[in-house]
């Protein structure tokens, strides 16, 4: 069974750094891109970027280029999303998902990030 | 950037109704179009991929059609479990874009 399991909810202060994770299982992790998707409170879905675990190639949506860093450790089948300096506007639910062809066929349960002073 | 525009933003319907949601792309998206269902507090679920292919396990009352810049999601006979928010998504082989969502409400 394909599963993506994300790390737990985080509460951070503005200016702090953060790295959240997404662990894949039940399939060959290295050969499927992993996407990160943001959903701000009460809003729609926003595509942040994707990473290919096989060679760590990363592609960012223009909105998120330079704002976050996507990385992967294929030895433990885990992708990451990180911020160096959080802002209140980063408060959102973050989902990872597996990219199959041109669609996201399996999703993690989401990680809620709250940034508040 | 390819922009995706869904209509309507909100749709009120009754159990048993046939409903259609439209997604328009600002430039051709070929058939690289997917539809997702999201319920409150849950992750989205893939319903349709490649514009018209039904994901395994998704009820056959869901169908998708279209190509180029105009796509539709049709639910042939609404069931109580279908009241949710629906999103379309295109992928240009570098990054994807979602529509703003259509909330399907009980009339």
Q: pLDDT tens digits for chain A (117 residues)?
A: 999 999 999 999 999 999 999 999 999 999 999 999 999 999 999 999 999 999 999 999 999 999 999 999 999 999 999 999 999 999 999 999 999 999 999 999 999 999 999
pLDDT at A108: 98
Percent of chain B at pLDDT > 70 equals: 99
Residues in chain B whose Cβ is within 8 Å of chain A: 1, 32-34, 36, 38, 43-46, 49-50, 55, 87, 89-91, 93-101
Contact A44 B34 (CB under 8 A): no
Q: Would you tell me how many other CB atoms lie within 10 Å of the CB of residue B16?
A: 9
Q: pLDDT at position B66, please?
A: 94
Averaged pLDDT score across all residues of chain B? 95
pLDDT at B72: 97
User: Does residue B28 register a pLDDT over 90?
Assistant: no
Per-residue pLDDT reduced to its tens digit, B66-89: 999 999 999 999 999 999 999 999
Q: Cβ contacts (< 8 Å) between B34 and chain A: which residues?
A: 102-104
Confidence of residue B93 (pLDDT cuts 50, 70, 90): confident
To test the contact with chain A by mutation, choose from B21, B28, B43 the residue with the greatest count of A C-beta atoms within 10 A, namely B43
Positions of E strands within A15-110: 18-25, 33-39, 45-52, 57-60, 69-73, 78-83, 92-100, 103-107
Q: Tell me if chain B has a CB within 8 Å of the CB of A62.
A: yes
Share above pLDDT 90 across residues of chain B, in percent, rounded to a whole number: 86
A8 by Cβ neighbours in 10 Å (0-12 / 13-18 / 19+) ranks as: exposed
| Predicted local distance difference test score (pLDDT) of residue A35 | 98
Burial class from Cβ neighbours inside 10 Å (0-12, 13-18, 19+) for residue A85 reads exposed
- Alpha-carbon distance of B72 to B21, in angstroms, equals 6
B92 or A27: which leads in pLDDT: A27
Q: Looking at beta carbons, which residues of chain A come within 8 Å of B2?
A: none
**Where does the pLDDT of residue B92 fall: very low under 50, low under 70, confident under 90, or very high at 90 and above?**
confident
Cα torsion B86, A44, B69, A101 to 10°: value is: -80
- Return the number of CB contacts < 8 Å for A and B: 69
State pLDDT tens for residues A80-108: 999 999 999 999 999 999 999 999 999 99
Q: Do A103 and B34 count as a contact with CB atoms less than 8 A apart? A: yes
From chain A, pick out residues whose CB is under 8 angstroms from the CB of B33. Answer: 102
Average pLDDT (B96-100) is 96
pLDDT of residue A12: 98
pLDDT at residue B47 is higher than 80? yes
The band of B30, judged by pLDDT with boundaries at 50, 70 and 90, is confident
């Amino acid at each position: 069974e394909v599963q993506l399991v994300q790390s737990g909810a985080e509460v951070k202060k503005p200016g702090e750094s953060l790295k959240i994770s997404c662990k894949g299982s039940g399939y060959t992790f290295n050969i499927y891109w992993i996407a990160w998707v943001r959903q701000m409170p009460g809003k729609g879905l926003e595509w942040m970027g994707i990473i290919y675990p096989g060679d760590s190639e990363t592609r960012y949506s223009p909105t998120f280029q330079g704002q976050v860093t996507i990385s992967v450790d294929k030895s433990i089948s885990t992708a990451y999303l990180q911020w160096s300096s959080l802002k209140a506007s980063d408060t959102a639910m973050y989902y990872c998902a597996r990219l199959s062809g041109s669609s996201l066929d399996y999703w993690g349960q989401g990680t809620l990030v709250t940034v508040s002073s | 950037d390819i922009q995706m525009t869904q209509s309507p933003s909100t749709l009120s319907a009754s159990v048993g109704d046939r409903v259609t949601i439209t997604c328009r792309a600002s430039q051709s998206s070929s058939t690289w179009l997917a539809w997702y269902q999201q319920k409150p507090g849950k992750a989205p679920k893939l319903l349709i991929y490649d514009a018209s292919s039904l994901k395994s396990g998704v009820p056959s009352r869901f169908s998708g059609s279209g190509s180029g810049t105009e796509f539709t999601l049709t639910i042939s006979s609404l069931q109580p479990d279908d009241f949710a928010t629906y999103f379309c998504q295109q992928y240009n082989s570098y990054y994807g874009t979602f529509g703003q969502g259509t909330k399907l409400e009980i009339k």
